[in-house]
Structures are given as C-alpha cells and as structure tokens.
Amino acid sequence: MYYNSILETIGNTPLVKLNTVGDDIEGTVLVKVEYFNPGQSVKDRIGLKMIEDAEEKGLIKPGGTIIEGTSGNTGMGLALAAAIKGYDCIFTTTDKQSKSKIDILRAMGAKVKVCPTNVEPDDPRSYYSVAKRLSEEIPNSYYPNQYDNPSNTQAHYETTGPEIWEQTEGKITHYVAGMGTGGTISGTSKYLKEQNKHVQTIGVDSVGSVYKKYFETGEFDKNEIHPYLTEGIGEDIIPENMDFDLLDAVMQVNDKEAFLMTRALAKKEGLFVGGSCGAAVHGALEYARTSDFGKDDLMVIILPDSGARYVSKIFNDDWMREHDFLDAD
C-alpha cells in the first residue's frame, strides 16, 4: 500500500490517554495528537479543505498564489497543499510567532512577511490587513481568510468530529479545544452534538483575549485585550467561524500555566507539543476539577501541534526565565 501524495496522509490522528498529568481526576482523559499530521498540526486539515473548495468554486487558477494571515500552522497546511498542487504562497504573520515557524514556512517555499502584534486588527500594518491588501494587488491570488471561511469549520465537521466519535465508540462526554479561528472547536462540536446533544464542549481561551468575556456576557470589551505569548489561541476579533452557541463553558489560561503544562506533557507523558496544547490541557483539567466530571465520563482534548516549533521559546530555559515563567534556580 502507498499514498498518491502526502496530502492523503492528513487526518486519522490517534487518541492517547493521559496517565500522569491530572492523575487526581476521576474519569478518562484522552488527547487527540494532531502532530501526527504530515505538517505536524491540526491545520493541515483546513489547509487542504480551503484550497480544494476554492478550486471547485474557481477562486484560484493553476499557477496562482495563496495569500493568508497565519500564526504559522495554517500556513504550513496551505504550503503542503500548494507544493503538491503547484501554487505559490505568501504568508503574513506576527512578530510574536516563533522563528522556527517562520523558517519552516520559508523552507516550504513560501514568502513570509512579519507584521507587528500590538496594533488594531484594522490597522494597515496588521497581519490581517497586509494579507488582504496583497490579495487585492496580486493577480490570480486567493485569500482563504481562515477566520471567516466556512471551509475551516466544515473540515472539522467532516473529519475531526467523526474521528473522535468513532475512536471513542460514541462514549465521549466532554470535548475540549483551544479557541483560535473557531473552526476546530465549532466544526467538531457541531458534529459531536448532532450525535449526542449531551456532549459538553469546553473552549480554552488565553488571558488577554476577548473570547471568555464575550461568551459570558455577549459584550466585545476592548479592555480585555492585552499582549500574551501563547500562540494560536485567543483573538482580538470575533471570527465568523467562532460559534458560541456550540460551547458550554470557556476556561481562560495564562501564559505561565500554559507553558509549564506544555513542558510537563513532554516530561511526564512523552507528548512533545506546543504552547496552545499546554493551555488546552491545563484548562481542561481545571474544568474537570471544578465541575461534575466523574469516573464514568470521557474527555477528549485537541492537541493542535508539535513542540518542534517552540524549541527556542517554551523549551528554552533562558527564554522561560526571562519572562518569569521559571524560577531562577
């Protein structure tokens, strides 16, 4: 048996039980390890789906250019598909993203433009605005816009949700994922709740993001927005893919909690994952400790990506100490 291209290896990632982290919790806690995808992240799923849907609609022609704003992982998913399908790529990202992510995108043949993090989304310098402007200036280009593109949510409705349902034999009671563009949590939650309306969906947000307060009050409060270092979750906008009606709770996690859990997952579980993975696990375990999660319950947490992209940051003791995430000793 062989695959016709690397794209056919996307999906069907494994579920792994947590044994040491959170061993005080009754019930079963599983993680879906998305770094088994060829581009080492959950975003491979949407990269392929968005391009295939664009091709069907005639939104991109042979030899075209894909332009997207990305924290790195979606860019990798798009770059994989582009390499096989013959498209060029230009990605915009923020200056808080790890150098490893930018280097990997360039290794895949993409051009990367780094934009400032601490500007308003509609500022012409923001990575959202720069991507949109380039897509308007460059002929035969396609701007997937993962934040508002329904193919993002649909990719998870068609793949991630069914995989989890099948892998748990329909026994899942709680689903947990970080909240970034909204596609992973919304698409998967929609599918799972259609199979069993009692499945609880818990979103994990970053301190410094608008999501938690918006979920709880319906108010978009700019005062909630401040810089944070966890990549890939939290927003200073409300994307169209973020469907709050599919959520039952939102847990907010700060950078230190996220990064220390990320390191614990490597040392105690052998799971070498990224910072948003640590945030998701920390938030999930805190939810389990403070809710009625019991011995008969089964929780699945999405681990979006690999730790390989964070070696210079989260797994670097000097960087962690500089940001007061580790004690001096």
Active site residues: 43
**Around Cβ 142, how many Cβ atoms within 10 Å?**
22
Helix H or strand E segment including 178: strand 174-178
User: Hey, what are 270's tokens?
Assistant: 């052998």
- The position carrying tokens 């016709």 is 4
CA distance 140 to 165: 39
Task: For helices 73-85 and 43-56, give the axis angle rounded to 10 degrees.
Answer: 50
Residue 174: name the closest of 197, 153, 205, 202 by CA: 202
The two counts, helices (H) then strands (E), for the chain are 11, 10
Determine the Cα–Cα distance for residues 191 and 160; give it in Å rounded to an integer.
Answer: 9
DSSP secondary structure code for residue 157 in this structure: I
Q: How far apart are CA 43 and CA 92, in angstroms?
A: 16
Residue 71 has what DSSP assignment?
Answer: S
What secondary structure letter does DSSP report for 158? Answer: I
Residue 228's closest CA among 15, 71, 122, 89? 71
Of 145, 127, 129, the closest CA to residue 137 belongs to: 129
- Which residues, at least 6 apart from 2, have a Cβ–Cβ distance to it below 8 Å? none
The H-assigned helical ranges of the chain are 43-56, 73-85, 99-107, 127-137, 150-155, 161-167, 183-195, 211-217, 255-269, 275-290, 317-322
